[in-house]
Chain A
Amino acid sequence: MTEQNLSPLGDSAITVTIGEGISEALSDKVVAEARAVADNQIPGVIDVVASYASVTVHYDPLRIGYADLKSRLLSIDRTGSSTSNERSVTEHVIPVRYNGEDLEEVAQRTQLSTQAVIEIHSQRIYRVFVIGFVPGFAYLGVLDPRLVLPRRESPRKRVPAGSVAIAEAQTGIYPTETPGGWHLIGTTHMRMFDPNRKDPALFAVGDRVRFEPV
Chain B
Amino acid sequence: MSSGVPRAGAMDLRAARTLNAILRNSASAAVLEWALTGGELTFADRTAFAAGGAEAVLKLNDASIDSYRAYLASPGDKLTIESITTRRFLYVAVSGGIETNIVMGSRSTYVPGGFGGIDGRRLKTGDAINVMNQKRSRHQVLDSLPRSLQPDYESRPVRFVARENSNEITNGELTISSSSDRTGYRLGGRMIFGGASITSTGVCPGTIQVPPGGEPIVLMADAPTVGGYRIVGCVITADLGRFAQLSPGASVVFEEVSVEAAQRALIGDAERLERVREWALG
Residues of A within 8 A of B (CB): 7-13, 15, 20-22, 46-56, 58, 61-62, 65-67, 130-137, 139, 176, 178, 193, 195-196, 199-201, 204-205
Contact = CB atoms under 8 A, between A and B. Distances in A.
Contacts, number: 138
A54 B202 contact: yes
Contact of A134 (B103, B113, B238): B113
B262 A54 contact: no
A74 to B, nearest CB: 16
Contact of B5 (A8, A56, A135): A135
Contacts of B202: 9, 13, 15, 49, 51, 54-56, 58
A11 B200 CA distance: 20
Interface string B224-245: 1111000101111110000000
- Closest A-B pairs by Cβ, 5 of them: A56-B202, A10-B234, A132-B226, A11-B262, A201-B3
B154 interface: no
B217 to A, nearest CB: 15
A12 B231 CA distance: 15
15 contacts: A10-B233, A10-B235, A11-B238, A49-B225, A53-B199, A61-B262, A62-B270, A66-B259, A66-B260, A131-B4, A135-B5, A193-B3, A193-B4, A200-B5, A201-B2
Interface stretch (B29-37, B52-60, B203-211): B203-211
Contact of B226 (A48, A67, A130): A130
A22 B3 contact: no
A52 B207 contact: no
B74 to A, nearest CB: 37
Given A52-B200, A61-B237, A10 B2 contact: no
Chain B's interface size range is: 35 or more
Given A11-B161, A49-B1, A195 B267 contact: no
B201 interface: yes
Nearest to B164: A7
B263 interface: yes
A58 B3 contact: no
B266 A9 contact: no
Contact of B263 (A11, A48, A58, A178): A11
Contact of A10 (B5, B206, B227, B270): B206
